[in-house]
């Protein structure tokens, strides 16, 4: 079991300091800075940040919610290791309203200290655009599935062939 700390670094600051005044000017980028650290994590596989919260899925199939509103002192709010999620190196976390789509499962994150399993859902690979998910079908190349995600716990499907 490998314990790895997560480092929150200021990549956004380095990217945002470039001025677009002249296209031929040299960017004024600052080096990344260590803002805060949280130890005791167990091999994180994927990380998504939404507002003041970081959501982490770990290789041991656990799910973490971290409050990062105070970047110098990130706080672990929830460590759920009893959720039916399957995490691998391709797992993505998508946040939509009060739902997290993780490893083929839909997790309620309404209470950040107590995430719970809602149901299975296969929406983990594509972004949310105007309330709809657009996943690529691995089995079929002649259709596009569009999932209405405006009700994140009861996603409907519309298929256009």
Domain 4-160, CATH 1.10.10 — does that match? no
- 13-22, 46-55, 68-77, 103-112: range with lowest mean pLDDT: 13-22
Nearest to 49 by CA among 104, 12, 2, 5: 12
> Residue 100's beta-bridge partner residues?
95, 107
Cα–Cα distances in Å, from 58 out to 21, 86, 131? 42, 9, 27
pTM to 2 decimal places: 0.63
Q: Where are the domains of the chain?
A: 4-160
pLDDT at 25 over 90: no
User: For 102-146, how does the pLDDT look when each residue is reduced to its tens digit (9 = 90+)?
Assistant: 877 888 999 999 998 888 765 544 555 555 555 544 444 444 555
């Amino acid at each position: 079991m490998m314990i790895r700390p997560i480092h929150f670094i200021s990549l956004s600051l380095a990217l945002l300091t470039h001025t677009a005044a002249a296209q031929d000017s040299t960017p004024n980028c600052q080096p990344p800075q260590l803002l805060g650290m949280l130890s005791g994590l167990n091999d994180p596989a994927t990380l998504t940040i939404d507002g003041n919260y970081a959501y982490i899925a770990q290789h041991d199939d656990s799910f973490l919610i971290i409050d990062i509103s105070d970047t110098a002192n990130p706080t672990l709010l929830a460590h759920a290791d009893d959720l039916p999620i399957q995490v691998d190196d391709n797992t993505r976390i998508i946040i939509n309203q009060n739902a997290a789509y993780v490893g083929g499962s839909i997790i309620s994150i309404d209470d950040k200290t107590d995430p719970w399993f809602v149901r299975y859902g296969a929406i983990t690979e594509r972004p949310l655009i105007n309330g709809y998910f657009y996943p690529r079908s691995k089995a079929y190349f002649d259709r596009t599935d569009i999932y209405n995600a405006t009700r994140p716990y009861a996603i409907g499907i519309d298929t256009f062939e």
